[in-house]
């Protein structure tokens, strides 16, 4: 571990939060001299303190220990690069339009890879008035179901959560361009391009 890099990162993050060494020390119930020692690279936070330090500075423990926060490349928020993430433990759904380090229930989440719809995961889209009416021919039991439907347009994402024993059908307002996604809890993410 490079104590100097860790110290510089702690110093930078503390200043970003507009906190003094004393503010951080009081929040952690330790001496401000300890914070000073870390920031000068003369030591490293004890493992038992990393959780509190992470919360106070708003950064992952892993990043503190690496002593580096690498910024993402600016992708301009291109919706074509959207990534969906689902926690295998609690079912939480997240998305990003750039690189992201996401975690849930203590587990790092990997982006889902969308496959082109197939017979078992076919998405039927009808236009009714000013809406798209989506139906999915898929069982909806407690062990095998469609967890969410998403419509990704040029400038927005509309995500509809579905639950077991609910009909797999959704109404979505019409938008220009875009793609439809469904997530099967057993077979992953599926995609249909809008015609």
CATH of domain 79-193: 2.60.40.730
Please give the CATH number for the structural domain made up of 3-66. Answer: 1.10.260.40
Q: Can you tell me whether residue 39 is helix, strand or coil? A: helix
Give me the helices (H) in 94-183, please: none
Tokens (6 digits) for 116: 């082109």
Structure confidence by residue, pLDDT tens digits, 28-47: 999 999 999 999 999 989 99
Buried b or exposed e, range 33-47, using 16+ CB within 10 angstroms? ebbbbbbebeebbee
Domain locations in the chain?
A: 3-66, 79-193
Q: Both tokens of residue 39?
A: 């920031």
Q: Which tens digits make up the pLDDT trace of 149-181?
A: 999 988 889 999 999 989 999 999 988 778 999
Q: Is the pTM of this model over 0.75?
A: no
**Which uninterrupted H or E stretch holds 136?**
strand 131-136
């Amino acid at each position: 571990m490079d104590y100097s890099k860790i110290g510089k990162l702690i110093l930078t993050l503390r200043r970003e939060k507009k906190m003094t060494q004393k503010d951080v020390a009081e929040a952690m119930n330790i001496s401000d001299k300890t914070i000073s020692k870390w920031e000068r690279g003369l030591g490293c936070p004890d493992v038992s303190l990393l959780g509190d330090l992470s919360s106070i500075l708003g950064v992952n423990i892993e990043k503190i220990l690496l002593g580096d926060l690498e910024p993402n490349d600016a992708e301009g928020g291109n919706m074509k690069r959207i990534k969906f993430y689902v926690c295998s433990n609690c079912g939480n759904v997240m998305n990003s339009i750039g690189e992201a380090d996401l975690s849930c229930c203590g587990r790092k989440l990997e982006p889902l890879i969308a496959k082109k719809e197939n017979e078992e995961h076919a998405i039927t889209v009808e236009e009714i008035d000013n809406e798209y009416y989506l139906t999915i021919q898929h069982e909806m039991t407690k062990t095998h179901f469609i967890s969410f439907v998403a419509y990704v347009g040029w400038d927005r994402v509309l995500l509809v959560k579905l639950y077991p024993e609910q009909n797999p059908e959704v109404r979505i307002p019409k938008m220009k361009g875009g793609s439809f996604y469904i997530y099967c809890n057993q077979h992953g993410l599926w995609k249909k391009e809008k015609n």
